[in-house]
Amino acid sequence: MTDKLERMRELSAKITELARAYYGHGNSPASDAEYDALFDELIALENDTGTVLPGSPTQRVGGEPLSEFPEHTHIRRLWSLDKVKTTDALLEWAGRTGTDEFILEYKFDGLTINLTYDGGVLVNAATRGNGIVGEGITPQAKTIRSIPLTVPYTGKFEVRGECYMRISVLEELNASSSEQLKNPRNAAAGAIRNLDPKVTAARRLDFTAYDVGYIEGRSFKTQVEMLAFLRENGLPVNDFCPVGNAEFVVNAIEAAGERRFTLDYDIDGMVVKMNDIVKAEALGYTDRFPRGAIAYKFPAQEQTTVIRDITWEVGRTGKLTPLAHVEPVELMGATVRKATLNNYDDIRRKRVGIGTRVFIRRSNDVIPEILSSVDEGEPENPVYPPKKCPFCGAHTEKRGAHIFCTNSLSCTPQITARLAHFASRDAMDIEGFSEKTAELLINETGLSDIPGLYELTAESFKGLAGFGEKRVQNILRAIDKSRDCELSSFIFALGIPNVGIKTARDIAAHFGTLENLRAATRGELSKLRDVGDIVADSIAGFFEDKSLSAQVDRLLELGVTPRKAKQSSSPALLAGKTLVVTGTLERMDRHGIEALIESLGGKAAGSVSRKTSYVVCGENAGSKLDKARELGVPVLTESEFFDMIEG
């Protein structure tokens, strides 16, 4: 019992320290997942011992108001939400409510604020504080453009909502400043709690409303009715608020779990509320939570860990990219051991080195990215740019923000990556030829360039582990088949810097033959749509390089024959129109539909704007669909798109 009480004291002190850092100063040294784990452990110990220590953080909501800000007493108390992490626990809660109609909302990962309107004017804004008393932040809140300063309703009422920073805004601010913001949540909290409203304004925060805590002169029977009131008064409300039974809510949560990675803001879960406000109020409250609402928490998207080493990986262009090896940490259901850094400037900007504790973030299945150092100041063990390639020993050189190995002819990782890219599906589509196969052939047979692929024989594979007669014949057959290829695939396969598959298709369609492309000037290239001076210089420079041009000649001598680009016989049904393709599609993948759009005279764009003609939408579409609805851009399902072009 004594050990448990001591552990409870330690947990209380640690949680209080973390809460003070976040709620009091807008700068958390721990991730949400770490904070939740400590909090859950303390609750479990309190339940186990039947003891709640004086001042336990489980008895409080938020943190005490800062002395620098005026205190504000909320008209009605603000509550925290109980949380669940499994659908079984959610369904168990739903069963206890005695109702089967719920509303589902995003749980924004930001800072709760409470707005007071009286006489149609915003008269006060405050943080949640301890739920009863918060910090007055009216001047700061007035800088947030999504918060209306006046509303049509003239009675007195309180609006609860979340103040947050968009991910795109964070990226823009960090790109233009040497002082890096650690993550959207901390950036929003720090901006709201800055005594200078000009700093708050510069952070370009957003606000979404989700609750009316108090209102005079009227009442609401349902959450849907209350949200309609908020909209009528110009308060921003998230559109994702479906209503349904418990089974519907579970399915919607699963869809939202996938959708979260396409949003331009962080959500760390979903809030489920009884739609019937009268019934929810009748259920009452625990010491800290309303019984009529609950938070479903997603697996943590962000964690903290320690960098143990930073190595440099070499890509097909010779670019050296730093890779951080970190202490293993659980993140979104996976054990993370590596995290990416963009370049040496990124290392300096984020102030990381060996032994630095860092915030890392994982989105979907992408390798986690290091956001910033948890600690202030410069790292104790800084990392310096390599003067020599870690793989071949050749000297390196800095070009712009990146470091390159200068040995493009015999640096094994470069050759391996170039061969794998050349053989990939969107390129020459050599089935069965992987990066591992390329590396093995380089190391064991002396394969040193792309044309050497077409000189391989069955004898080349003799003695190589895992290469039986059938596998060897399949690879050789696939290599031989690739000699007859589309011009666009060949251009993409060459690995010209800044030339992706879409640009390769545009170039092939314009010039028609490889000969025409090789003879094109920079001026002729730059006139192509979406091909600017940088891309034009990359293409011209590639064919001007004697070594690279000689390899192209050798490929042609070995029987590689890029077919002349076909001119589409289809009418230019989409001429002058710009389409954006998003979501998971069934009949054809996104690249295929984009190519079809181009063949019909349209432009396939990557982002939605007022100039977009249509958005073609598949399953699990995200922010692009939201943007289309916001701008009033027509949205087509995959089926509607094909009906349009085939009809």
How far apart CA 81 and CA 59 sit, in angstroms, is 13
The neighbour count for residue 548, using CB atoms within 10 Å, is 17
Which DSSP category does 260 fall into? G
How far apart CA 454 and CA 450 sit, in angstroms, is 8
Radius of gyration, CA atoms only, the chain? 29
Q: CA end-to-end span of the chain, whole Å?
A: 77
Bridge partner residues of 373 (DSSP): 358
> Which of these, 146, 85, 92, lies nearest to 115 by C-alpha position?
146
User: Residue 545 belongs to what H/E stretch?
Assistant: none
Side chain identity at 218, as an amino acid letter? Answer: R
How far apart CA 160 and CA 147 sit, in angstroms, is 12
Q: Which residue has the tokens 């409203």?
A: 197
Which residues have C-beta within 8 Å of that of residue 242, sequence separation ≥ 6?
A: 103, 104, 248, 252
Give me 265's structure tokens.
């803001």
How far apart CA 512 and CA 528 sit, in angstroms, is 13
Q: Which residue has the tokens 């930073």?
A: 310
> Which of these, 352, 340, 342, 339, lies nearest to 319 by C-alpha position?
342
Give me 533's structure tokens.
């001076």
279 in helix, strand or coil? helix
The neighbour count for residue 469, using CB atoms within 10 Å, is 9
Q: Which residue has the tokens 């100039």?
A: 611
**What are the phi and psi torsion angles at 43 (to 5°)?**
-60, -45
Give me 527's structure tokens.
């006139």
* Residues with a known catalytic role: 107
CA-CA distances (angstroms) from residue 452 to 10, 384, 456, 555, 563?
65, 37, 7, 9, 21
Give me 460's structure tokens.
């080349």
**What are the phi and psi torsion angles at 531 (to 5°)?**
-115, 105
Angle at alpha carbon of residue 609, lines to 228 and 260, rounded to 5°: 55
Angle at alpha carbon of residue 321, lines to 317 and 324, rounded to 5°: 155
CA-CA distances (angstroms) from residue 6 to 34, 47, 53, 72, 508?
20, 15, 10, 35, 72
> What is the per-residue burial (b if ≥16 Cβ within 10 Å, else e) of 335-349?
ebeebbbebbebbbb
Bridge partner residues of 445 (DSSP): none
Q: HSE on the CB side for 72, CA within 13 Å?
A: 23
